[in-house]
Amino acid sequence: MKKLTINILLQTIFIINIAAQTGVNSVEKARQYPIITNKPAVNFFEGALLGNGGMGTVVTTRPDAISFHFGHNNVWDIRIAEENKAETLTFDEIVSKIKSLPPEIKNIRDDKWLKDYFEKMHANYDKPYPRPFPCGTVILGFDRRKTEMLGHKIDISTGMCEIYLLNSNGTKNTLQIFADMTADKIWFRLVDENQRPAPSCFNRIRILPDKRTPKEFPKYTVTEDISLGFTQILPSLEPDKYDINTGHPNDKAFRLEARISSPLTNGFRHPATGEDEPLRPAERYIAAGNIPFTGLISLTEGSATDIKPEEINIPEPTPEQYLNAFEATVASWKEYWNKSGIALSDTFLEQIWYHNLYFYNCAIKAGATCPGLFANWSFGDIGTAWHGDYHMNYNTQQPFWLSFSSNHLDKNLPYADLVDHLLPVSKMWAEKYYKMRGAFFPHSAYPVEMTHHPYPVPDWGWEVCETPWTVQGLWWHYLYSIDTDFLRDRTFNPVRQAVLFLVDYMKRPDAHGSQWKDDRYHIIPSVPPELYSLKPGFRNNYDPLTDITLTKFIFKAYLEAVRILKYDRQESATVRDVKQILEKLPDYSTVESSEYGEIYTSVPGETDRMVYNYPANLTHVFPGEEYGIDAPADIKHKLLNTYHAHQNEGGNDIVSLSTAGARLGVLDIEKFKRQVKYCLLPNGTASDLCMQTGGRYDDITRFDFMASMGIWIENFALPLVINECLMQSYDGTIRLYPNWDKSQDAEFSTLRAVGAFLVSSRLASGNVEYVNILSEKGQICRLKNPWGNAAVRITRNGTPAETLNGDLLTFKTKAGETVLINSDVL
């Protein structure tokens, strides 16, 4: 009895010690990874990235000035071309035309009628709009004879950017800049070497509209009073339909204005012509003086009827206002960082994780428009490639994958809003074009009102996988939150609409019948992601692996949602169809590789030499989540063969292929790090860079051609790869360190797992020291025993409870309960 009491006491002390030591101080960790440039950063891709999730600002530095380039997720050129509606044929009419092609036609576009039709359907997309619209630039100039630019640093723990200036008398000044996290404002102040407010060392301020503003736009209106700025109207109609004098009720507008504490004076420029010229619009000299230099730049956006050029909203900036705003901003960043954290022995992996989560918070927030390809940073034509739009075959979804395991579920809400926005036009297209129920989601889309399919081209526009892929993130949101209200109000209807379309599509006579010599429900025609386009006879356009796995995913999600919401009676017919098709989907296609053995292919008939763009022959690992590290042995063997045989041209693989590798437990982390380093830009973001020829790229291809297009938001999901190396839960079982070298120390705090569990753990000296699980919703927890089959001690809310053993630990939880698990060593 005495020995038992001592053991219990020692166990309690051990638990208390573990509890006291758990948790990563992610704010301090973030502070360890500033983004530093020790020279002028004159290029857009060298500048400091700031933002509040809606507004984005790139701060570049020249030897003679500082420039603030503004963008906003809500600000777009909202004009849209929707011509050729009457000429748009139905799906059946186009299929019939393709079926009638003579056998000698090897390429769809070799047929003149189809070539002309494809070009006509592409004409709307050929217009330069819609697109993100840059919101202008503010410049602070200084006299190079008196002040020298040294460089800048971003403290990502607080969002503070410091620009370092050297004065001719040997003293140094720092311009401290931050994005207000509660309003679309940039604050700045000048301090001396002792952090005391300092008077201005700047001599000029100027505000410029974007240099690529279309000539057919209404002329911007300049404000030159106590503040400087301009207002730009964004027409809602195309040039041939728009009256520039009267405008339109649906027009949008924005105003960019700046105000500083120093007096402004008018005057003249002294250009190289030798003839003095007046200062340009929205340009003034800054008068010298002893007033502490403080400034504020405000971006206002919305309806053109609400944004009046004559209304000045910007307050006089004072040191007190600056400090109050900064205090609120620091608190906002602290709350953000405290959601989750990691501490690794590998500092570069830590840097990847913290840098990209910093960019993530700058680029996305609930209530703002879902960002497109290049987030909220734009300038000139930077950020406008492919309209900067929504590509629904992974690009749009990828950054939101990070929101789940990193415990930032609020970041997924703009994506849910996007799905709601796309649903009406997707249902219309299913009904009018396909003559089917439900919704067929578009390949490309925009955050503007759409009355016609934005990409009605029968090539990439026929990617069936994009329909289940679009709604997948809504189901993930439920799985990671167990938020039944979200499931009912935001998830179920879009998922149901996708399911209805898929059911009708696969029950067509072309997709199921005796001509197939089987009883399967096929997916035809379709186009695998970024491969083949459309072929005569649909020879590479049936049963893509990506389509099958995502269809399985969303069918299973639908059935589970029906069960949870108790919709069995009202959904009985669709449930019956879904179960019938689910049992009879085609097998995944494979091919024998002489070097690697049997491997999966993206479509039937594919060779083992295919160079992929997106890893389309591994999507049943991720994002399909059908298989992973515990796959049946025969399937696991083929998956590993496929992973090792996979060739990828790069640009779309750094997150998805790496995540698939981690899910299989075979990701080479050192190789992953080298690829990230290869893709890094001076601003700390990872771009889309090519990796090899043999697919769409040739020896004369610039391997960095996509780097100059914009800031690729999709790669902000890089921390997901690290999360998956540390913890996986996609199938409802939590696995710790599944793709991690156990000799390398690691710790993580409150990574979110399926089932609404927040998981924390530490690995040190090859041993898992503890697992701490906070159950938000009281679900049953399943944990792969990190100590093998050893007995483990369960402590609930600080009180020792039961002992468990075995390879899989299963235990009940209560909502709000904290469960500490450690090896029963005593």
Unique residue bearing structure tokens 């003839």: 275
Mean residue pLDDT across the chain:
95
Helix (H) or strand (E) run with residue 18 in it: helix 2-21
Per-residue confidence (pLDDT) for residue 226, from 0 to 100 = 87
Per-residue confidence (pLDDT) for residue 308, from 0 to 100 = 83
Per-residue confidence (pLDDT) for residue 467, from 0 to 100 = 98
Per-residue confidence (pLDDT) for residue 225, from 0 to 100 = 85
pLDDT-derived band at 110, boundaries 50, 70, 90 = very high
Per-residue confidence (pLDDT) for residue 16, from 0 to 100 = 40
Distance CA 113, CA 534 (A): 15
Per-residue confidence (pLDDT) for residue 22, from 0 to 100 = 58
Distances (CA, A) of 422 to 79, 249, 427, 446: 17, 23, 9, 9
For 528-554, what is each residue's pLDDT tens digit?
999 999 999 999 999 999 999 999 999
Question: Which among 432, 446, 436, 442 is positioned nearest to 462, based on CA atoms?
Answer: 442
pLDDT-derived band at 6, boundaries 50, 70, 90 = very low
Show the 3-state SS of 755-800.
Answer: CCEEEEEEEECCEEEEEEEEECCCCCEEEECCCCCCCEEEEECCEE
What's the whole-number mean pLDDT along residues 409-421? 98
Per-residue confidence (pLDDT) for residue 653, from 0 to 100 = 94
Distance CA 742, CA 338 (A): 26
Secondary structure of residue 72 in the 3-state scheme: strand
Q: Which two tokens stand for residue 718?
A: 């890089």
Per-residue confidence (pLDDT) for residue 10, from 0 to 100 = 39
Burial 795-820 (b: 16+ CB within 10 A, else e): bbeeeeeeebeeeebebebeeeebbb
Do 318 and 226 contact (CB within 8 A), yes or no?
no
Neighbours of 544 (CB within 10 A): 33
This prediction's pTM: 0.96
Distance CA 525, CA 534 (A): 8
For 28-63, what is each residue's pLDDT tens digit?
999 999 999 999 999 999 999 999 999 999 999 999
What's the whole-number mean pLDDT along residues 154-178? 98
Distance CA 139, CA 634 (A): 62
Q: Which two tokens stand for residue 205?
A: 């301020």
Secondary structure of residue 146 in the 3-state scheme: coil
Distances (CA, A) of 278 to 205, 225, 267, 485: 14, 16, 6, 61
Secondary structure of residue 123 in the 3-state scheme: helix
Per-residue confidence (pLDDT) for residue 194, from 0 to 100 = 96
Per-residue confidence (pLDDT) for residue 237, from 0 to 100 = 98
Which residues 6+ apart lie within 8 Å of 387 measured at CB? 125, 129, 130, 131, 372, 444, 446
Checking phi first, is residue 387 left (phi over 0); if not, alpha (psi -120 to 50) or beta? left
For 645-686, what is each residue's pLDDT tens digit?
999 999 889 999 999 999 999 999 999 999 999 999 999 999
Helix (H) or strand (E) run with residue 62 in it: strand 55-62
Neighbours of 268 (CB within 10 A): 11
Per-residue confidence (pLDDT) for residue 23, from 0 to 100 = 84
Task: Walk across the sheet containing 757-764 and list its strands.
Answer: 341-344, 746-753, 757-764, 767-775, 817-823, 792-796, 799-804
> Which of 44-53, 251-260, 270-279 bottoms out in mean pLDDT, i.e. has the lowest?
270-279
Do 314 and 260 contact (CB within 8 A), yes or no?
no
Distance CA 604, CA 516 (A): 13
Find the Cα–Cα–Cα–Cα dihedral 45, 46, 51, 56, rounded to 10°.
-40
Distance CA 363, CA 373 (A): 11
> Which of 16-20, 90-94, 445-449 bottoms out in mean pLDDT, i.e. has the lowest?
16-20
pLDDT-derived band at 309, boundaries 50, 70, 90 = confident
- What amino acid occupies position 814? K
DSSP string, 219-245: PPEEEESSSEEEEEEE-SS-GGG--TT
**Sign of the torsion formed by the C-alpha atoms of 67, 176, 141 and 261:** positive
> Cis omega before residue 525 (within 30°)?
yes
Do 244 and 216 contact (CB within 8 A), yes or no?
yes
- Decide the pairing of beta strands 727-728 and 647-648: unpaired
Helix (H) or strand (E) run with residue 641 in it: helix 633-645
Per-residue confidence (pLDDT) for residue 192, from 0 to 100 = 97
Helix (H) or strand (E) run with residue 578 in it: helix 572-583
For 361-394, what is each residue's pLDDT tens digit?
999 999 999 999 999 999 999 999 999 999 999 9
Q: Bridge-partner residues for 650, per DSSP?
A: 690
Secondary structure of residue 185 in the 3-state scheme: strand
DSSP string, 686-724: B---B--SSSS--TTS-TTTTTTT---GGGGGHHHHHHH
Unique residue bearing structure tokens 């083949």: 532
pLDDT-derived band at 349, boundaries 50, 70, 90 = very high
For 440-470, what is each residue's pLDDT tens digit?
999 999 999 999 999 999 999 999 999 999 9
What's the whole-number mean pLDDT along residues 483-501? 98
What's the whole-number mean pLDDT along residues 563-577? 98
Name the DSSP letter for residue 53.
S
Find the Cα–Cα–Cα–Cα dihedral 204, 209, 211, 215, rounded to 10°.
-140
pLDDT-derived band at 17, boundaries 50, 70, 90 = very low
pLDDT-derived band at 813, boundaries 50, 70, 90 = very high
Per-residue confidence (pLDDT) for residue 20, from 0 to 100 = 42
Do 261 and 294 contact (CB within 8 A), yes or no?
yes
pLDDT-derived band at 324, boundaries 50, 70, 90 = very high
Q: Which two tokens stand for residue 155?
A: 């403290």
